[in-house]
């Protein structure tokens, strides 16, 4: 009886497993979708943006059809589009929380195409056989962008009148009246990060930045390298020209990081601003208002008593600063008078007063103290004076930390800036628009050939070695 019962249990479990297997596969593939249902299927983009020279995925989900019953045949594509490969996967069914079917199982097919030219491409359909039905699922129009690795940032400008209405600019020319307000917003495209954004004030004008946008600041903060084809606003300016004539937009200095990691200097588009004179045959109140406005803009030059000309740093001043720095480095801090003399000269020249330089003799003293204390602690451990040895060892460790800090300061290369262009990359004629005052002390972070990458306060860039005087 026991053997018979055991046999019955085996048969029961086998039947149960078989029923579950049949039930699952029946649920996945038992349905035969109609021709009408299959004809409604179409391909979808596998990524948000497609780029030239890359494998661009398109996918289609075919319900209730096994992968072996699906065939893909790509016969004809546009000249600049090529078929790369395809793959088929089992599409598992998905259920809601309550157990109801959300999407049926079937086949997930992915097709990869490559585009050689940027732009909008129309791919009408591809040939497929699904469960014996001949189908031509559509792909439609696809927008393909240039590969970001080869794209350079660009600048766009939109102009608005005093009532915030966008101005339709023709032939890059705008006509205004004297004292009329012109607002414009600067946008940047295809940039990962904005590094430099400054401008020169135009003549005969009132020029103000009225809004700074957070979009580019958020990109800088998050260091977001995701592709964005839309222009990102940087700032909006209000420009009021007070004298008739023909003008160009103010000079802007803009440096941005490209998608391939290089810094790139941008130029704004060229526009002609033609300012016509006002009709002064107005009522007395308007005429007086215009007069007051012009008198505010065009004031008399400052007298010699109130005007202080910027003092230039001469070669003699550079040599004096170099001598003071040399004395600071090679003398003890407590007996160093060169520091005060250097500070006075930097104040006279209008330079930022630098900190006291690290002293080499003080470093030698710290090294000597560290070596002596370490040696003494080893000797005390050998003679089993552990408590005293531990105290001396702690003192040696503290001395070692200070020695490391002082050594790092001494080994940091510094130089005096003689003047010249500061470049965003170590190449000539690619200036960043950033300026550092002659005679400033800069930190040399890197050397590449005849170029040095320097930092001065919050400013950094590449400078030719001939424009630096190394401090030793």
* Rounded Cα–Cα distance for residues 130 and 62 (Å): 8
Q: What average pLDDT score do residues 126-155 get?
A: 87
Query: Residue 317 is encoded by which pair of tokens?
Result: 């001043």
At 216-262, the pLDDT tens digits run 665 555 455 678 888 999 999 999 888 888 999 999 999 988 888 88
Residue 31, pLDDT score? 57
Q: How confident is the model at residue 290 (pLDDT cuts 50, 70, 90)?
A: low
Q: How confident is the model at residue 7 (pLDDT cuts 50, 70, 90)?
A: low
Residue 303, pLDDT score? 42
User: Over the chain, what is the mean pLDDT?
Assistant: 80
Residue 83, pLDDT score? 92
Q: Which residue has the higher pLDDT, 7 or 318?
A: 318
Residue 155, pLDDT score? 92
Weakest-pLDDT range from 165-169, 220-224, 421-425, 468-472: 220-224
CA 327 to chain centroid, in Å, comes to: 42
At 340-388, the pLDDT tens digits run 788 888 777 777 766 777 778 888 888 999 899 888 888 888 887 888 8
* Threshold 0.75, pTM exceeds: no
Q: How confident is the model at residue 6 (pLDDT cuts 50, 70, 90)?
A: low
Identify which of 73-77, 112-116, 240-244, 280-284 has the greatest average pLDDT.
Answer: 112-116
Q: What is the CA radius of gyration of the chain?
A: 37
Length of the chain: 472
| Three-state SS sequence of the chain | CHHHHHHHHHHHHHHHHHHHHHHHHHHHHCCCCCHHHHHCCECEECCCCEECCCEEEEEEEEECCCHHHEEEECCCCCCCEEEEEEEEEEECCEECCCCCEEECCEEEEEEEEEECCCEEEEEEECEEEECCEEECCEEEEEEEECCHHHCCCEEEEEEECCCCCECCCECCEEEEECCCEEEEEEEEECCCEEEEEEECCCCCEEEEEEEECCHHHHHHHHCCCCCCCCCEEEEEEEEEECCCEEEECCCEEEEEECCCCCEEEECCCCCEEEEECCCCCCCHHHHHHHHHHHHHHCCCCCCCCCCCCCCCCCHHHHHHHHHHHHHHHCCCHHHCCHHHHHHHHHHHHCCCCCCCCCCHHHHHHHHHHHHHHHHHHHHHHHCCCHHHHHHHHHHHHHHHHHHHHHHHHHHCCEEEECCCCCECCCCCCCECCCCCCCCCEEEEEEEECCEEEEEECCEEEEEEHHHEEEEC
* Rounded Cα–Cα distance for residues 277 and 243 (Å): 7
Weakest-pLDDT range from 180-189, 197-206, 352-361: 352-361
At 402-455, the pLDDT tens digits run 888 888 888 888 888 887 667 767 777 655 556 677 888 888 888 888 888 888
CA distances from 163 to 168, 173, 300 (A): 14, 20, 33
Query: Do the beta carbons of residue 77 and residue 123 sit within 8 Å?
Result: yes
Which one, of 199, 229, 231, lies nearest residue 215 by Cα? 231
């Amino acid at each position: 009886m026991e053997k018979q019962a055991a046999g019955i249990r085996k048969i029961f479990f086998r039947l149960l497993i078989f029923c579950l297997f049949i039930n699952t596969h029946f649920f996945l593939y038992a349905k035969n979708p109609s021709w009408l249902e299959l004809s409604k299927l179409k391909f979808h983009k596998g990524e948000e943006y497609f780029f030239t020279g890359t494998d661009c995925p398109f996918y289609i989900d075919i319900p209730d059809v096994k992968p072996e019953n699906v065939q893909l045949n790509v016969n004809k594509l546009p000249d600049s589009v090529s078929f790369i490969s395809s793959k088929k996967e089992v599409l598992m069914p998905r259920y809601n929380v309550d157990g109801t079917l959300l999407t049926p199982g079937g086949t997930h097919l992915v097709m990869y195409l490559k585009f050689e030219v940027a732009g909008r491409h129309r791919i009408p359909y591809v040939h497929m056989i699904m469960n014996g039905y001949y189908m031509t699922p559509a792909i439609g129009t696809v927008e393909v962008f240039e590969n970001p690795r080869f794209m350079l940032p660009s600048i766009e400008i939109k102009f608005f009148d005093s009532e915030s209405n966008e101005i339709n600019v023709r032939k890059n020319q705008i006509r205004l009246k004297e004292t009329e307000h012109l607002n414009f917003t600067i946008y940047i495209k295809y940039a990962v990060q904005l590094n430099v954004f400054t401008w020169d004030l135009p003549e005969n004008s009132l020029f103000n930045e009225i809004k700074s946008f957070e979009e580019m600041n958020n990109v800088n903060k998050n260091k977001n390298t995701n592709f964005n084809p839309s222009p990102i606003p940087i700032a909006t300016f209000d420009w009021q020209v007070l004298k008739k004539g023909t003008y160009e937009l103010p000079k802007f200095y803009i440096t941005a990081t490209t998608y391939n990691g290089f810094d790139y200097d941008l130029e704004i588009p060229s526009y002609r601003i033609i300012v016509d004179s006002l009709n002064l045959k107005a009522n007395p109140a308007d005429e007086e208002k215009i007069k007051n406005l012009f008198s505010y803009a065009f004031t008399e030059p400052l007298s010699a008593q109130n005007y202080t000309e910027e003092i230039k740093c001469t070669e003699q001043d550079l040599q004096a600063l170099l001598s003071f720095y040399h004395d600071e480095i090679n003398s003890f801090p407590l007996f160093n008078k060169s520091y005060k003399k250097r500070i006075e000269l930097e104040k006279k020249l209008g330079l930022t007063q630098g900190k006291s330089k690290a002293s080499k003799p003080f470093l030698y003293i710290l090294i000597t103290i560290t070596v002596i204390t370490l040696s003494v602690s080893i000797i005390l451990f050998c003679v089993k004076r552990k408590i005293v040895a531990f105290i001396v060892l702690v003192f040696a460790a503290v001395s070692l930390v200070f020695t490391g800090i002082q050594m790092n300061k001494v080994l940091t290369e510094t130089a005096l800036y003689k003047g010249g262009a500061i470049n965003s990359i170590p190449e000539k004629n690619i200036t960043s628009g950033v300026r550092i005052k002659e005679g400033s002390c800069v930190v040399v972070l890197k050397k590449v050939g005849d170029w040095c990458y320097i930092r001065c306060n919050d400013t950094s860039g590449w400078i030719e070695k001939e424009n630096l005087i190394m401090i030793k």
